[in-house]
A = this chain, B = another copy of it.
């Protein structure tokens, strides 16, 4: 049977299409190109794909995430609903919350600006930025030439004239091959004649030796030499456009990873990639639907044309780099967990469909293993822990949790499946750290009333990672939940559904359930037990850690005391903790502006020892012990 479905998007468009009886409303919405998040990939386990049937009849098997009142009102899970007649469906505006909402920031203020300034200082000190040789710096520079008019006596072709001019100008450097990109060759005849055979070239020192003329401008023009750094997170894509010579940030922004439609975590994405056409669908979702519009926004915002982006550096976890390049990732989740590549080698942006300068290099931060990716090697670089004599612990709280411990003599890494809780996934009230997200909270112990800090100061629409940590810390501090995460007080903010599942109401239409708390406890347990296991393996005590660097997109900061109180982070003086933001993006930034930094990141990846936690039986015991608030061994946090 074929039914007609009219999707009415809250505050937006309407869409009509024909749907057969065996298609779910979620499948139908996807066919219509309508964004409805389904982090669980349509398995009915995340509760995110709620829609309201306002006309006609659907059959819907799963009521788990729908209260009886809401059910009576017509709310259903799109993934679990099939049409029994022509229907009209209201899609709430929040249904596409994960969808690519690109936000461009000017970096005029705030933490990110400070972080980039700090990094620029570090790069300058290391000789990776500024007027240093190409091998250390960007390797891309201007060269001004005045070659003299072509004439019957000197009828050399334009290209050969340019090459002769460059050779003369660079005579102090070793004589090496000079070549032109087709982009520059196409501009050459007119620019030479417009400006009396004088011009400004953009030349790049080549790894194989010699120089490549990437671009050419009329004499006197000083265009921006732009580079682009991208962090592809499982949930969020962040990018920054910079001046490749000075390191100045020209525009920064972020958006969702559109692959979220096919699953919230890497495992669901990998499974999707094994379906017919799945790999290409995922490649397009990240490349065409997520990265390209974001890059276009940055280009527009900074007023820098795409063709003036001469290098792109990307840092991402191993699955994301595979999917971005269209390389089959299934072996990442099959024993013996072997990726298709650690290093992607010398690629051009055009190979991956990125439409910037046609000869722009594409650099990917090298991975250490299947579960410790380029985001970590880039992150370790920008944390600078590899330069310290003292011991540091680096924690990247993303969809997976990755840890690196060590100093300037050794670095050991491991990864644990924390799940997407810290980025708002697998949590019914979770969301990314964008406008409307609760990023901090305080609960009155007596009244159980919360005071929320919301990004953008508007109406709260969900909890981001830091808000979630705070919320659970407060619920625990106020004895609203017990050590197992069960709600043990009653009151007007406490509700229980027909199965007895409790929830705490944060605000109107926003609540946290025992299921959410359970998911969070497993996430924090995975992190803490990984830290413990690694330290025990290395025979280090917790106190040996001089600094803990926390990276990732969990929000504008983390309440360290709260995180220690619930047993997520080891008990150390809070001044040893530092939230250092999106280190994956910062590392990609360093690669874009400096060949030296890119080389250093490759060395870091090569030198990182990988510890496979699952190979150690003690890890499971540690994990189970950590799945309490704060821990079965309370002395660790006393």
Collect the chain B residues with CB atoms within 8 Å of residue A337's CB.
155
Q: Which of B188, B330, B338, B347 contacts A157 (CB 8 A)?
A: B338
Chain B residues in 8 Å Cβ range of A179: 345-346
Residues of B within 8 A of A156 (CB): 338
A157 touches B351 (CB 8 A): no
The verdict on A288 contacting chain B, using a C-beta distance below 8 Å, is no
List, in ascending order, chain B residues with CB within 8 A of A207's CB: 177, 208
Q: Give the chain B neighbours of A150 by CB distance below 8 A.
A: 336, 338
State A343–B157 Cα separation when bound (angstroms).
Answer: 9
Chain A: how many interface residues by the 8 Å CB criterion? Answer: 49
Residue of B nearest to A328 (CB): B189
Contacts of A520-578 to chain B: CB distance below 8 A: none
Q: How far apart are A616's CB and chain B's nearest CB, in angstroms?
A: 13
Contact among B189, B340, B369 for A159, CB-based, below 8 A: B340
Contact with B along A336-354 (1 / 0, CB 8 A): 1111111111110011100
Q: Are A340 and B152 in contact (CB under 8 A)?
A: no
Cβ-defined contact, A155 with B338, below 8 A: yes
- In chain A, residues 349-394, which have Cβ atoms closer than 8 Å to a Cβ of chain B? 350-352, 358, 367, 369
- A340-B208 contact given A190-B328, A325-B185, A346-B179, CB 8 Å threshold: no
How many Å lie between the Cα of A296 and that of B369 in the bound state?
42
Which among B206, B208, B327 is the interface contact of A210 at CB below 8 angstroms? B208
Evaluate contact between A152 and B185: CB separation under 8 angstroms.
no
Residues of B within 8 A of A345 (CB): 159, 179-180, 185
Which residues of B lie under 8 Å from residue A326 when comparing CB positions?
A: 182, 186
A339 to B207, CA, bound (A): 30
| CB of A339 to closest CB in B, whole Å | 5
Smallest Cβ distance from A454 to chain B, in angstroms? 43
Pick the 4 closest A-B CB pairs, nearest first.
Answer: A208-B208, A159-B341, A152-B336, A179-B345
Known: A157-B340, A182-B326. 19 other contacts (CB 8 A): A150-B336, A151-B336, A155-B336, A157-B341, A158-B341, A159-B343, A159-B344, A160-B341, A160-B342, A182-B344, A182-B347, A185-B340, A185-B344, A186-B325, A189-B331, A190-B328, A207-B208, A208-B209, A209-B209
